[in-house]
Amino acid sequence: MIHNITKKEIKLIALDMDGTLLNEDGKVTEGNRAAIKEAEEKGVKVVLSTGRAYATCNEIAKSLALSSYLITVNGSEIFDPNGDLVERNIISHELIEWMWNLTQKYKTGFWATSTDKVWRGEMPEDIRSYQWLKFGFNIAEDKIRDKIFSLLKETGKLEISNSSPTNIEANALGINKAKAIEKVCSFLGFGMENVMAVGDSLNDIAMIKESGLGIAMGNAQEIVKETADWITDTNQNDGVAKAIRKLVL
């Protein structure tokens, strides 16, 4: 259901990348590319709001000729239109070491994003000589994933989400895509009611909930669909373009 759709003036479109803007081959389809270009030409800002680090999304933003900010690592970093860092929120070394120890104890896959690199399945010898933005767990087994999710929640010091049903992502407490989009809106001079946010996973729920229009992908996790105002097509079928054309253009 879309509520009061005629009253929404969308000035900014916030797009998740994996499972949303990108298809299963990790590419932006021509349909999505064309709709984004038309939105930008109409004066609507398009912002990538992703769990990825800057290094793995900047080229895609450039290829789309986006004129606005870039939100990375689930909102841990915000970059301005020139690619300069505007804000950074880090996780304490103690928490990073504790989460890494959990992966050893429960034999899980993991990755960790520092300010200069994404570490996969390995960590540097001196964890404390780096600044950390996010820690992620890859866990196929539901029971172990639920256990670790609970342990992370219990700390009361982490923002917990996921970017796929089998992973867990931990950011600094209070850091999420919605908060980052709100900051970008304040830089641009309007509010969250003028935002349309599109996503597919738990790390998209906050922005879908708090934006004027929250859109779930057809391939989104069920809880994301339940949160959204409207459900578009899948990432394989130009779901982003269809949402932009129906609700913005």
Q: In what order do the strands lie in the sheet with 132-138?
A: 118-120, 109-114, 132-138, 167-172, 158-161
CA dist list (Å): 73 to 78, 115, 140, 180: 9, 10, 22, 10
The token duo for 161 is 């989400």
- State the catalytic residue, choosing from 16, 204, 229, 238: 16
Is residue 197 within 8 Å of 215, Cβ to Cβ?
Answer: yes
Picking from 64, 72, 130, the residue whose alpha carbon sits closest to that of residue 97 is 130
45/10 Cα distance (integer angstroms): 9
Could you tell me the end-to-end alpha-carbon distance of the chain, in angstroms, rounded to an integer? 19
Helix axis angle, 142-155 relative to 93-106, nearest 10°?
160
Residue that the structure tokens 């866990």 belong to: 139
The radius of gyration of the chain's CA atoms, rounded to the nearest angstrom, is 18
34/66 Cα distance (integer angstroms): 12
51/62 Cα distance (integer angstroms): 17
229 is an active site residue:
no
74/223 Cα distance (integer angstroms): 18
Active site residues per annotation:
16
